[in-house]
């Protein structure tokens, strides 16, 4: 039996809290009162407290951390405390986490790109050297994992030139991010690729050892640490406006390719080519049902958590590039997907992207078939029946 993941534990914990009558906006005192009853519920409590910017949340989290020797819970508490600290609250450091007076060397710098339509992202780690900088370049995919990693010695000038070339040739912009977060992204992607048996170009562990000896930190979403999650979740207008994100140039590569939507295209074609005589309205209704199912399945199942992370990453990028409204909309999509049991249904961005991708490919295939039929004198029984129905 596989070990429960954080996501499955959180869902189980949320269900338990609801059974106990604790609404999503329950205060820190109410959550603290039920702590210790159930491991999954404690995990959900820790996650909820991280969204409540209040000193009582810090106290409750510290008490929760000491109540149970659970590695998953400890990580969740640390994640929530980090979020609260980013929002200006004072979080006491544990004795083991207080800085030690060691010659740690120059602080690293981190940079991330947007996530493209395939889930690919560039992540950089930079370490100052006496003669320049050490530049770790990583290409990763969510959820497939680390694809390529490379370490080189370069100069600040050459690094700026590389950034400019990425932007001028691909309109790909690198923005600053907490280096520990970038380190976490690369390490997590390395483990994903290793678990799935994917080939990784480059010696990740060897390269990282040349930059830092620190352990990898489990850093939570930067967007959720800097935006008011509760306010975004509570404002229905933010999610309703999510479709406008498609106007942002960073989403220009976000479409589903023909191979991904092929099962739905084939099913729609079978409906249109069915020996049953269906009028146009009946055909459209059946095709609509196919597309509705596609919206659920494309964003649901095993890929749901990946979509949640991708929208979190986009929310951070928009926040750093001074587009706060777009950042809140991207976060709203992430939050809606995280709690959805029907994939992308009722989420405007997801509905529009999936439907437009499928309809576009359907129209392309119909146009191709019409071009082929122009040179053919053969009329199928289905075409003849549909023509008779049209005339009636």
Question: In whole angstroms, what is the distance from residue 129 CA to residue 346 CA?
Answer: 51
DSSP letter, residue 151: E
Question: From CA 330, how far away is CA 163, in angstroms rounded?
Answer: 25
CB count within 10 Å of CB 245 equals: 24
Residues 99/68, Cβ–Cβ less than 8 Å: no
C-alpha separations of 232 from 57, 83, 86, 148 in Å:
19, 15, 17, 35
Q: What is the pLDDT of residue 73?
A: 84
User: If you count them, how many residues does the chain have?
Assistant: 392
Nearest to 340 by CA among 279, 277, 298, 386: 298
Q: Measuring CA to CA, how many Å separate 266 from each of 121, 158, 271, 306?
A: 31, 49, 9, 26
Give Dmax (Cα) for the chain: 88
The tens-digit pLDDT sequence of the chain (392 residues) is 455 677 888 888 888 888 888 888 888 888 888 888 888 888 888 888 888 888 888 888 888 877 666 778 888 888 888 888 888 788 886 544 444 433 344 589 999 999 999 999 999 999 998 889 999 999 999 999 999 999 999 999 999 999 999 999 888 999 999 999 999 999 999 999 999 999 999 999 999 999 999 999 989 899 999 999 999 999 999 999 999 999 999 999 999 989 999 999 999 888 877 766 567 788 889 989 999 999 999 999 999 999 999 999 999 999 999 999 999 999 999 999 999 999 999 999 999 999 999 999 988 888 887 777 665 555 455 555 555 555 55
Domain ranges of the chain: 6-96, 109-219, 229-391
Task: State the alpha helices, DSSP H only, in the chain.
Answer: 6-19, 28-33, 39-49, 55-65, 71-86, 156-170, 179-196, 204-209, 222-226, 229-234, 236-240, 258-272, 280-299, 304-320, 324-339, 348-374, 381-391
Short-list 78, 70, 309, CA closest to 188 = 309
Distance between CA atoms of 45 and 34, rounded to whole angstroms?
Answer: 9
User: Which tokens belong to 115?
Assistant: 């996530």
Distances 187 to 110, 146, 194, 314, 348 between C-alpha atoms, Å: 14, 8, 11, 20, 33
* Alpha carbons 310 and 250: distance in angstroms, whole number: 12
What's the pLDDT at 104? 45
Cβ neighbors of 329 (< 8 A, separation 6 or more) are: 238, 239, 241, 242, 244, 245, 349
**pTM score > 0.75 for this model?**
no
Cα dihedral value 199, 205, 206, 209, nearest 10 = 160
Structure tokens at 283: 């055909």
Residue 98, pLDDT score: 46
Question: Rounded to an integer, what distance in angstroms lies between the CA atom of residue 41 and that of residue 26?
Answer: 14
Q: What pLDDT does 280 receive? A: 77
Contact indicator for 329, 238 with CB cutoff of 8 Å: yes
């Amino acid at each position: 039996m596989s070990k429960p993941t954080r996501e499955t534990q959180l869902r189980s914990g949320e269900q338990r809290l609801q059974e106990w009558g604790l609404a999503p906006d329950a205060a820190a005192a109410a959550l603290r009162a039920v702590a210790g009853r159930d491991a999954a519920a404690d995990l959900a409590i820790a996650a909820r407290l991280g969204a409540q910017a209040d000193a009582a949340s810090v106290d409750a989290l510290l008490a929760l951390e000491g109540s149970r020797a659970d590695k998953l819970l400890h990580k969740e508490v640390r994640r929530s405390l980090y979020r609260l600290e980013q929002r200006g609250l004072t979080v006491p450091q544990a004795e083991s986490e207080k800085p030690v007076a060691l010659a740690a060397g120059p602080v690293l710098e981190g940079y991330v790109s947007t996530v493209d339509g395939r889930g690919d992202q560039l992540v950089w780690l930079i370490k100052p050297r006496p003669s320049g900088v050490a530049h770790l370049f990583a290409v990763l995919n969510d959820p497939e994992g680390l694809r390529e990693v490379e370490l080189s010695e370069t100069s600040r000038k050459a690094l700026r030139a590389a950034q400019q070339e990425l932007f001028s040739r691909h309109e790909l912009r690198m923005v600053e991010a907490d280096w520990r977060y970038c380190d976490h992204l690369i390490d997590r992607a390395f483990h994903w690729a290793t678990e799935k048996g994917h080939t990784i170009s480059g010696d990740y562990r060897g390269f990282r050892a040349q930059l830092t000896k620190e352990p990898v930190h489990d850093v939570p979403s930067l967007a959720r640490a800097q935006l008011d999650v509760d306010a975004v979740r509570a404002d229905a207008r933010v999610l309703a406006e999510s479709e406008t994100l498609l106007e942002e140039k960073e989403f220009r590569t976000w479409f589903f390719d023909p191979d991904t939507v092929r099962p739905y295209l084939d099913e729609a074609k079978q409906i249109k080519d069915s020996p049953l005589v269906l009028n146009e309205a009946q055909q459209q209704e059946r095709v609509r049902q196919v597309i509705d199912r596609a919206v659920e399945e494309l964003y649901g199942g095993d890929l749901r958590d990946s979509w949640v992370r991708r929208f979190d990453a986009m929310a951070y990028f928009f926040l750093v590039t001074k587009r706060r409204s777009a950042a809140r909309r991207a976060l709203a999509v992430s939050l809606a997907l995280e709690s959805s049991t029907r994939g992308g249904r009722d989420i405007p961005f997801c509905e529009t992207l999936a439907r437009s991708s499928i309809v576009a490919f359907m129209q392309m295939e119909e146009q191709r078939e019409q071009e082929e039929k122009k040179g053919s004198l053969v009329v199928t029984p289905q075409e003849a029946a549909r023509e008779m129905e049209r005339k009636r």
